[in-house]
Amino acid sequence: MSALERLRAAAPVMREDLAGLVAVESPSADLDALARCADVVAELGKRCTGATPERLVVADRPHLRWRFGGGPVRVVLVGHFDTVWPLGTLARWPFTIDGDRCTGPGVVDMKGGLVVLFHALAALAARSDLDGVAVVCNSDEEIGSPTSQALIEDTAAGAAGALILEGSAGGRLKIARKGIAHYSLRVTGRASHAGVAPHLGVNAGVELAHQVLRIAALGAPPDTTVTPTDSSAGTTSNTVPASARLSVDARAFDPAELARVDAALRGLRPVLPGAELLVELGPSRPAMPASASAAMFALAQRVGLRLGLPPLVGEAVGGGSDGNLTAGIGVPTLDGLGVVGGNAHAEGEWADLAGLPDRAALVAGLVDAIGREP
């Protein structure tokens, strides 16, 4: 029996595993919930591969790593089990199956991808063919992987390829991703009574408004976007705000564009006399250029053809993932290999259950081929 036939026979089990993962809520901000979900992911990985993972805790966050064989890592598979959905979401929106489609918080981003990952490895483990394979499952991808970046880069260093199990819209693979930089702008003004002496204050909220317009003008869409996001100013309704803050999301395919935006943000100067500005760089990810995925995508097309799957299509996207990190250290990377679905991060998030076995077969074929085929 071929790997694809074994995986299609295992389709009911894959559905059950996805339901089990979604049933354990795991918002990025809840460490206890993440620990519970890590236990479920570890058990799934052990059942599929026969191996118990390393449990690595960084800043109280649990991450999991498997390494098979005693030699160097040939291929690394990366997935995450944190989601954007707060505790209690399942109470109003439970995991539901309707025909070949399921919905629920995290089904496509990316608990479905974890099911694909481990069942792909199960198909290979059946013939004892996991030497040189490593797996990293982290709990902070949705917030920029601040505690797992070093783990991912250390595990992937020197590998012939990295496979990222993020979800896929329409079955398309991610062959390029924008680089991302998050900034925090802090404005300091001077408080005063808004009724008695507004002229004695320096209004940090007004200064912030000036800067928001300047920052929004830095983008060059669609390739370079600079987006002011969450903001706040002031403390009470009758006080001139003494402070304000703004988050900024900058994205570009071209590293030179991110450098331009960085210089412009750091060069901002106050408009109001007496106001002060502080710009700080937060979590960031390098771009994943098309050149990082070209050979891997060609290999995936050959593997898909051998399996008899529909022709694979690639796309460049603005969203970031841990594929940015592996590509950033020079490892050939292919992303979007997880479950096919849609509406990630939104109500109605869904995944295609019928496609789970074929997706897992593609991943298994890639793991088998990477480092062994030209």
Query: How many domains does the structure of the chain reveal?
Result: 2
Residue 18: strand, helix, or coil: helix
Single-letter amino acid code for the residue at 174: K
196 and 237 fall within a common domain: yes
Place of tokens 């702008």: 185
Q: What is the pLDDT of residue 1?
A: 75
* Closest listed residue to residue 78, CA positions, set 113, 38, 52, 106: 113
118 and 174 fall within a common domain: yes
Containing domain of residue 86, as a range? 3-178+287-369
Report the CATH number at residue 269. 3.30.70.360
DSSP sequence for 208-222: HHHHHHHHHTT-BTT
Q: How many CB atoms lie within 10 A of CB 12?
A: 9
User: At which of 254, 285, 316 does a domain end?
Assistant: 285
User: Angle 31-49/11-22 helices, nearest 10 degrees?
Assistant: 160
Q: Residue 177 — pLDDT band, cuts 50, 70, 90?
A: very high
- Record the tokens describing residue 373, joined without a space: 């085929």
Convert 24-83 into a string of H (helix), E (strand) and C (coil): CCCECCCHHHHHHHHHHHHHHHHHHHCCCCEEEEECCEEEEEEECCCCCCCEEEEEECCE
Residue 283 clears pLDDT 90, i.e. is over it: no
**C-alpha to C-alpha distances, 372 to 114, 163, 266, nearest whole angstrom:** 24, 15, 46
Mean pLDDT, to the nearest integer, of 72-87?
Answer: 98
Residue 128 clears pLDDT 80, i.e. is over it: no
359 and 343 fall within a common domain: yes
* Total residues found in the chain within this entry: 374
Mean pLDDT, to the nearest integer, of 263-277?
Answer: 98
Q: Residue 325 — pLDDT band, cuts 50, 70, 90?
A: very high
Cis geometry, peptide bond prior to residue 296 (ω within 30 degrees of 0)? no
218 and 135 fall within a common domain: no
Give pLDDT tens digits for 187-229: 999 999 999 999 999 999 999 999 999 999 999 999 999 999 9
Q: Does residue 307 lie within any of the structural domains?
A: yes
User: At which of 253, 268, 285 does a domain end?
Assistant: 285
Provide the annotated active-site residues. Answer: 82, 141
167 and 183 fall within a common domain: no
Residue 265: strand, helix, or coil: helix
Q: Residue 371 — pLDDT band, cuts 50, 70, 90?
A: confident
Residue 373 clears pLDDT 80, i.e. is over it: no
Residue 109 clears pLDDT 80, i.e. is over it: yes
User: What pTM, to 2 d.p., does this model score?
Assistant: 0.92
Say if CB 325 and CB 149 are below 8 A apart: yes
CA angle 114, 363, 111 (to 5 degrees): 15
Q: Alpha-carbon distance 295 to 273, whole Å?
A: 55
Give pLDDT tens digits for 339-352: 999 999 999 999 99
CA angle 325, 329, 332 (to 5 degrees): 85
145 and 159 fall within a common domain: yes
